[in-house]
Amino acid sequence: MINLELPKKLKASANQAHQVAAQIFRPVSRKYDLAEHEYPVELDTMAAMVEALNDSGQGAAGATLGREGKTKDSDGSNANGGNMAGLLNVIETCWGDVGLTLSIPYQGLGNSAIAAVATDEQLERFGKVWASMAITEPSFGSDSAAVTTTAVLDGDEWVLNGEKIFVTSGERSSHVVVWASVDKSKGRAAIKSFVVPRDAPGLSVARLEHKLGIKASDTAVLLLQDCRIPKDNILGSPEVNVEQGFAGVMQTFDNTRPIVAGMAIGLGRAVLEELRGILSEAGVEVSYDVPANNQHAAAAEFLALEADWESAYLLALRATWMADNKKPNSLEASISKAKAGRTGTAVSLKAVELAGTYGYSERPLLEKWARDSKILDIFEGTQQIQQLIVARRVLGKSSSELK
C-alpha cells in the first residue's frame, strides 16, 4: 500500500530543488520570458548539482527514473526511487519556472526515455548525456504510432531519414532520442527509439519555434537526412516483436507522464500561493473552518481550485509510486497527466481572472504562468489522448476497437 509520508532523503533533495527555484529561477523568470531562445546562462551554475543528483538517482527532472536510488520502508513493502525523487524535484523547480526547468542541462525528456528502455550497458553509456526527445512529425501530432521517420540498418550503422517537430531542447541538448520505424510493413511494432548525437552527420536544426509560453526553453525542428549512428545506439532490442506491439516504446510515457503532471502541479502551487496573497491584500480571507457558501465568492473559488490541485497532486503521487514499485501504471499515468494538465490550466486562468487587471498585467507572473500552463495539457499526450487511453483501459478495449 502506498505510504504518503515522504522519506527524509527525498525531502532533502526536494528542498534543494526548491532553493534552486527560489534563488535562480524566479529572479530571472521574466527575463527569459521576454528573451525567447536566449540561453539561460544562470543554469550553468547548476551543472555540478545536477550531476550529483543524477548520481544518486534523484535528478531534478527524473533523468534516471526508477533505475536506481531506491529507498525501502522498514517492512520492505515500499520503494521510493528515481521516479518519486524526479516528481518531487520537478514540482519544486516548476514552482520556480517551467521553461527554465525544461532547460536544465542533462535533464531532457530523452533522458527519461533512456532510463525506461535502455539496457544496463546503454544506461552506462548514455546515463549522463543531455537528451531531448523527438517524436512528433509534420504529418501527425498525438498519434505516436504514425511515425514516418525511417531507420535502415547499413552494416554497423543505422541510417535515419525524416523530420521531427516540437523537439524540446532540440538545439541545446547533446543527444536526441529519435522515434523511427525499422520496417514500415510491420506497423507500430517496428517503431524503435534511437540515441542520436547532436553532432551526428545528417542531423540539423531547421528552425526554432516561437511559442505562447515556456519561452526560456528552445523548441526545435530537426531534419534527419541520411543521418548515421552506430548500430548499438538503438534503445533496447532491435528485434520487432509483433505480439508485444508498441508497448516497449510506449513504456517511456508511463514514466514521463507523471513527471509532466508534476510540472503542472508545481506551476499550480505557485499560482495558488500568489493568488492567496493577492486576495489577502484585497481583504479577502480564505477560511477552512467556514463553509464555502458562507465566504466571499473569490474565497469560495480559491477553495475549489485548491481542492482540484490537491487531487492532481495525490494522483501523481500514486502513478509515480507504482512506477517505482514495478506496478503497471499506464492507466494511472494517463489519469494523473490528464488531471494535472487540466487543473494547471484552469487554476492559472482563473487566478488571472480573479486578480483582475493586476493579474492580466506583467507586474506579477500570473499571466506568464497562464501562458506556460497550456503546454502541460498538450505535450506528452494531449488531454483528449489521455482520456482516450483511460477509456480503453477502463473498458478493456484495444486501440483498434476504441479510436
pLDDT value, residue 271: 98
**pLDDT band for position 223 (cuts 50, 70, 90):** very high
Distance separating alpha carbons of residues 123 and 134, to the nearest angstrom: 19
User: Quick check: is 163 catalytic?
Assistant: no
Q: In terms of Cα–Cα distance, which of 211, 322, 217 is closest to 263?
A: 217
Phi and psi, residue 33, nearest 5°:
-70, -35
Q: Retrieve residue 177's grid coordinates.
A: 532520442
- What 3-state DSSP class applies to 189? helix
Amino acid 54: pLDDT? 57
pLDDT of residue 65: 43
The closest alpha carbon to 321, from 233, 281, 243, 262, belongs to 262
Of the spans 61-75, 79-93, 175-189, 298-312, which averages the highest pLDDT?
298-312
Q: What is the biggest distance separating any 2 CA atoms in the chain, rounded to whole angstroms?
A: 74
Q: One of 121, 157, 380, 401 is an active-site residue; which one?
A: 380
How much is the average pLDDT of 64-91? 68
pLDDT at residue 92 above 80? yes
Average pLDDT, the chain: 89
Query: 299 pLDDT exceeds 60?
Result: yes
Q: What is the CATH number of domain 130-233?
A: 2.40.110.10
User: At a CB cut-off of 8 Å and minimum separation 6, what does 140 contact?
Assistant: 146, 147, 148
Each domain of the chain, given as residue ranges in start order, spans 8-107, 130-233, 247-395
pTM strictly above 0.85: yes
User: Is CATH 1.10.540 what the domain over 8-107 is classified as, yes or no?
Assistant: yes
d(CA 385, CA 403): 10
For the domain made up of 247-395, give the CATH fold. Butyryl-CoA Dehydrogenase, subunit A; domain 3 (1.20.140)
Greater pLDDT, 256 or 57: 256
Burial of 154 (0-12, 13-18, 19+ CB in 10 A): exposed
**Confidence at residue 109, expressed as pLDDT on a 0 to 100 scale:** 84
Structural contact between residues 249 and 105, judged by C-beta atoms closer than 8 angstroms: no
Q: What Rg do the C-alpha atoms of the chain give, in angstroms?
A: 21
pLDDT digits (tens, 9 = 90+) for 119-148: 889 988 998 899 999 999 998 876 767 899
Q: Residue 249 — pLDDT band, cuts 50, 70, 90?
A: low
Q: CA quadruple 101, 175, 122, 333: dihedral positive or negative?
A: positive
More confident residue, 65 or 142: 142
Q: How confident is the model at residue 225 (pLDDT cuts 50, 70, 90)?
A: very high
